[in-house]
Amino acid sequence: MQTKKRYRRAYEKDLPLLSTINNKIDGIIRWCTPSIHPAVPKARGIYDNDISISYHGLGNPSLNTGIFKEAYQKAAAAYGSDHTLFSVNGSSGSNFMVLRALKHQLGGVNMLLQRNVHKSISVAIEDFQIDATYLQPHYDNKLQIFIPNTTKEILDGLRENPRTNVLLITNPTYEGLSINLSGLVQEARKANPDLIIFVDEAWGAHFPFSKKLPPSAMESGADICVQSTHKQGSGLQQTGMIHWQGNRLSSKSMMDSYKSLLTTSPSFHLLASLDGTRYLMETKGGEIIDYLLEVSDLLRNGLDVLPGVEVVNPSKLKRQYDQIEFLDESKILVNIEQTGLTGYEIAHYLEKEYRVIVEKYEANNILFLTTFQNNKFEAKETVKSFRHSLQDLKNKKKSEKPSFPEFPTEIIKSVPSYEISKNKLKAAGLEDAAGKICAEDIVPYPPGIPLIAKGEEIQKEHINYLKALKNTSGLISVVMNDYNMRTVLTVDTS
Ligand SMILES: Cc1ncc(COP(=O)(O)O)c(C=O)c1O
């Protein structure tokens, strides 16, 4: 017995990651990515059958030849595009590939975009010298979520920036909010028929397979979209797809970019797993999503009656914000403000005591993502665990819940981000930074939306917000050069 224990301890010490993956994941209830259906046709023999392009029988993924070409074509038919490629670096890699393709095709890219972009986009903007104009964002300070811009605001943005040749829309948002994309596409095309509409659909890989979900980017007439198949589309971690249609995006530029940025040795198992995903969703997607939504309803209704808990009602949210046309109801946003606890405390307690994992949490809310592996038993167990967690935590509660400032939304752009590195930079004390040009992206998590992007003017409101965040005892982490938030990197004008 002792020997066994000693052996296990040594195994955990010598192989920390491997032993965790092998031993600690089984049995957890997870309401978070990846969403993988148990019946998805699986790539077998991840070690024994690992293979490279030296085996000519397969073709080459980055050249779109052989078996890969066949798999990509089948995916294009299933996801409603003219062309599809598989990614092994999630939507992060796909966003980079698409923006590189656009840069090479257009020479100069003038892009209009919403503020809630993923960091892969802001990094690509800088690296490919893209002129980016952010629309003024909307932020719901009670729910602590980003609300999309209205169609009118986007069209006004296009009118005010007549050089725009690419419109980037992140749809749906992290919380599953979706705009009337087809309406926007039609209106935007009336104003500029050549405008390239690129949708970051990282959270919508399941959309093409059910009418109960928001319409997909391809169905809505966008030119290009990227999807994280691993998030909600039954793909393994890392997997994603790029879809495009029509001829506004040059297929030659896209293929060239794919060939240039895809590793020369992608895992063929990951690529093959996307073939399995496509088959499952194409043949059984409708019924799988029906069940997913039933599980989601069970969890939603069970949580909603717990004391102090308010599950965000999709219809109510739609009434509150006109621009929200559809909601992905597999996402369950739970406001816990009235419990006197923070989302952070509850989420950590659920994980530690009940092995229930949520997608994300903030001060006032918790987001559950119903996945393809969840079932009704897990929904009921989670409601029970949540109820017990509330009771336990209230009994232990010592400190007051910290208050949160409003998220500043005004943007004053001074310099494109790619110009920043040409200047002398200086770390300015937080108190002295107002009026200076920010030389770094400052991103509080949550909400994960840049508070200030590189090249924008630092305002008094930003400083007040950062100062308030310092008092949240680690509830919110801020991604910036100085993690202690004492200094901000600025352009030195002295
Ligand atoms: C809107 C959006 N785009 C892109 C990404 C990157 O996706 P991936 O993790 O597949 O690289 C994310 C990740 O959360 C995202 O939220």
CB distance 33 to 359 below 8 Å? yes
Pocket test for ligand 1, best of 33, 89, 118, 225 (most atoms within 8 A of CB): 118
Backbone angles phi, psi at 255, to 5 degrees: -65, -35
Ligand 1 centre to CA of 395 (Å) is 38
Does residue 245 line the site of ligand 1, with CB under 6 A?
no
Strand pairing report for 177-178 and 326-327: antiparallel
Q: Rounded to an integer, what distance in angstroms lies between the CA atom of residue 372 and that of residue 308?
A: 29
pTM for the structure as a whole: 0.95
Element spanning 298, H or E:
helix 268-304
Report the SS3 class of residue 292. Answer: helix
Report the candidate in 261, 235, 204 with the shortest Cα–Cα distance to residue 80. Answer: 204
Does residue 126 line the site of ligand 1, with CB under 6 A?
no
* pLDDT under 50: residue ranges of the chain: none
Instruction: State which ligand 1 atom lies nearest to the alpha carbon of 117.
Output: 1
Does residue 228 line the site of ligand 1, with CB under 6 A?
yes
Q: Rounded to an integer, what distance in angstroms lies between the CA atom of residue 226 and that of residue 184?
A: 18
User: Which amino acid, 200?
Assistant: D
Does residue 90 line the site of ligand 1, with CB under 6 A?
yes
In the DSSP assignment, the letter for residue 164 is: -
Report the candidate in 165, 173, 170, 217 with the shortest Cα–Cα distance to residue 191. Answer: 165
Report the candidate in 193, 202, 142, 140 with the shortest Cα–Cα distance to residue 170. Answer: 202
SS3 content of the chain, % helix, strand, coil (to 5): 40, 15, 40
CB distance 427 to 439 below 8 Å? no
Q: Rounded to an integer, what distance in angstroms lies between the CA atom of residue 421 and that of residue 455?
A: 10
Does residue 92 line the site of ligand 1, with CB under 6 A?
yes
Enumerate domains of the chain plus CATH numbers.
Answer: 2-27 (no CATH), 61-277 (3.40.640.10), 285-396 (3.90.1150.10), 417-491 (3.90.100.10)
Backbone angles phi, psi at 329, to 5 degrees: -80, 5
Instruction: State which ligand 1 atom lies nearest to the alpha carbon of 170.
Output: 1
How many CA atoms, within 13 angstroms, populate the side-chain half-sphere of residue 114?
A: 27
Residue found by looking up tokens 């077998």 in the block: 44
Per-residue model confidence (pLDDT) at position 192: 96
Question: b vs e for 332-346, b when ≥16 Cβ sit within 10 Å of the residue's Cβ?
Answer: bbbbbbebebbbbbb
> What interhelical angle do 376-396 and 268-304 show, nearest 10?
60
Instruction: State which ligand 1 atom lies nearest to the alpha carbon of 230.
Output: 10
The token pair at 351 is: 């994980």
Note the pLDDT tens digit of each residue in 425-442. 999 999 999 999 999 999
Ligand 1 centre to CA of 32 (Å) is 14
**What's the first-to-final CA gap in the chain, in angstroms?**
70
Q: Rounded to an integer, what distance in angstroms lies between the CA atom of residue 402 and that of residue 322?
A: 31
CB distance 416 to 437 below 8 Å? no
Per-residue model confidence (pLDDT) at position 29: 97
Element spanning 293, H or E:
helix 268-304
Strand pairing report for 365-369 and 360-361: antiparallel
Does residue 175 line the site of ligand 1, with CB under 6 A?
no
Per-residue model confidence (pLDDT) at position 474: 64
Q: In sequence order, what are the beta bridge partners of 242?
A: 85, 226
Does residue 240 line the site of ligand 1, with CB under 6 A?
yes
The token pair at 383 is: 């409601």
Ligand 1 centre to CA of 174 (Å) is 9
Ligand 1 centre to CA of 91 (Å) is 5
Per-residue model confidence (pLDDT) at position 369: 98
Instruction: State which ligand 1 atom lies nearest to the alpha carbon of 448.
Output: 16
Does residue 360 line the site of ligand 1, with CB under 6 A?
no
Ligand 1 centre to CA of 368 (Å) is 17
CB distance 417 to 340 below 8 Å? no
Does residue 202 line the site of ligand 1, with CB under 6 A?
yes
Per-residue model confidence (pLDDT) at position 446: 67
The token pair at 30 is: 């997870």
Q: Rounded to an integer, what distance in angstroms lies between the CA atom of residue 157 and that of residue 178?
A: 19
Q: Rounded to an integer, what distance in angstroms lies between the CA atom of residue 141 and that of residue 244?
A: 36
Per-residue model confidence (pLDDT) at position 396: 82
